[in-house]
């Protein structure tokens, strides 16, 4: 890390971001569309008086939220880290917040250096919707047996081809991921699904949630889920759960990052 704030030393700054994705067309910059990346880059440009491109750990889709998105950027601007955090929070809209700003080694890359990512999907499971949680949870009135969902989710654990849950049109060549954890837990009236893996295909978590909710209604739920996985065909899996129930919880790196 660089201790002195002088000269033209290139610094690598890591940000941890929290955001409500309701008003954004996803993370990644798109022409004529409001995105989280573009909004943060515009705030950085105002703060530093220089254009800066940031790299995100996960390209969250439109409407998806984050509690622990990680991004990094390179700059020769020699302001203290606390000034980056406070300055950005003063400039950004209220639905995006910088939780932390740290200096990391030059080789650190928010996306490619990541070893694990964790997502949480939140379902409002009761007979009537919520006015307050309508943008952060999926209203699903049918009963959900959490223990049965946990048993079914164990089929997902391990390294395997998850093509059945990859969004149509994705350009990813290698559909193999390793899932370390996949479990459901209840906090009435909410039911949460947490999943952690080394990587995720585009739209994968929402497709998994929709497929599990579909399969659990069958008497042969485990057989059906295995059939869907083996087929590697998105068209026979369940519908994707709505984006607004999903949040990127955390991104993990090696201890040195």
> What pLDDT was estimated at residue 3?
40
Rounded (10°) angle between helices 204-215 and 146-153: 120
Query: What's residue 173's pLDDT?
Result: 74
pLDDT at res. 139: 98
pLDDT at 171: 62
The fold adopted by the segment(s) 116-252 is Alpha-Beta Plaits (3.30.70)
Cα 31 to the center of its chain, rounded Å: 22
41-62 tens-digit pLDDT: 999 999 999 999 999 999 999 9
6, 121, 124, 141, 148 from 217: Cα distances, Å:
63, 19, 18, 14, 10
Question: Among candidates 110, 114, 136, which has minimal Cα distance to 123?
Answer: 136
pLDDT for the residue 255: 72
- Domain positions in the chain: 11-103, 116-252
CB distance 123 to 138 below 8 Å:
yes
Q: Cα(57)–Cα(197) distance, rounded to whole angstroms?
A: 13
103 vs 81: CA distance, rounded Å: 8
> Tokens standing for 174?
């290698």
Which pLDDT value is given to residue 174?
Answer: 86
Residue with tokens 């950027």: 73
190 neighbors 213 (Cβ within 8 angstroms): no
Q: Which of 199, 198, 195, 224 is nearest to 208 (CA)?
A: 195
Task: Tell me if residue 95 is catalytic.
Answer: no
Q: Which residue has the tokens 């070893």?
A: 115
Identical fold between 11-103 and 116-252: yes
| Side-chain-facing half-sphere of 243: CA atoms under 13 Å | 19
Sign of the four-CA dihedral 16, 185, 229, 216: negative
Q: Which of 8, 20, 61, 230 is catalytic?
A: 61
The per-residue pLDDT for 5 is 47
| CA 179 – CA 197 distance, rounded (Å) | 4
* Protein fold of 11-103: Alpha-Beta Plaits (3.30.70)
Q: What is the pLDDT of residues 62-107, one digit of tens each?
A: 999 999 999 999 999 999 999 999 999 999 999 999 999 999 999 9
Strand ranges, E, within 81-137? 96-103, 116-124
Per-position pLDDT tens, the chain of length 257: 344 444 579 999 999 999 999 999 999 999 999 999 999 999 999 999 999 999 999 999 999 999 999 999 999 999 999 999 999 999 999 999 999 999 999 999 999 999 999 999 999 999 999 999 999 999 999 999 999 999 999 999 999 999 999 987 666 678 999 999 999 999 999 999 999 999 999 999 999 999 999 999 999 999 999 999 999 999 999 999 999 999 999 999 987 55
pLDDT at 187: 96
């Amino acid at each position: 890390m660089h201790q002195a704030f002088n000269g033209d030393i290139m610094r690598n700054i890591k940000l941890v971001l929290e955001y409500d994705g309701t008003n954004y067309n996803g993370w990644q910059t798109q022409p004529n569309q409001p995105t989280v990346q573009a909004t943060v880059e515009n705030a950085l440009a105002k703060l530093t008086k220089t254009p800066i491109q940031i790299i995100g750990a996960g390209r969250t889709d439109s409407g998806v939220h984050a509690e622990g998105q990680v991004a990094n950027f390179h700059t020769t601007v020699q302001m203290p880290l606390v000034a980056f955090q406070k300055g950005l929070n003063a400039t950004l809209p209220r639905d995006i917040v910088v939780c932390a700003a740290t200096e990391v080694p030059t080789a650190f890359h928010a996306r490619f250096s990541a070893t694990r990512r964790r997502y949480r999907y939140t379902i409002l499971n009761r007979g009537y919707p919520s006015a307050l949680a309508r943008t952060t949870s999926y209203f699903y009135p049918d009963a959900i047996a959490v223990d049965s969902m946990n048993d079914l989710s164990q089929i997902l654990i391990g390294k395997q081809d998850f093509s059945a849950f990859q969004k149509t049109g994705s350009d990813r060549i290698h559909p193999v991921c390793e899932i370390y954890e996949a479990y459901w837990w209840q906090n009435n009236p909410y039911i949460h699904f947490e999943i952690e893996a080394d990587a995720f295909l585009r739209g994968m978590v929402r497709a998994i949630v929709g497929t599990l909710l579909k399969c659990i209604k069958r008497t042969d739920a485990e057989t059906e889920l295995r059939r869907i996985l083996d087929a590697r065909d998105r068209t026979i899996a369940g519908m994707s759960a709505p984006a607004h129930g999903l949040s990127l919880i955390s991104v993990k790196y090696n201890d040195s990052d």
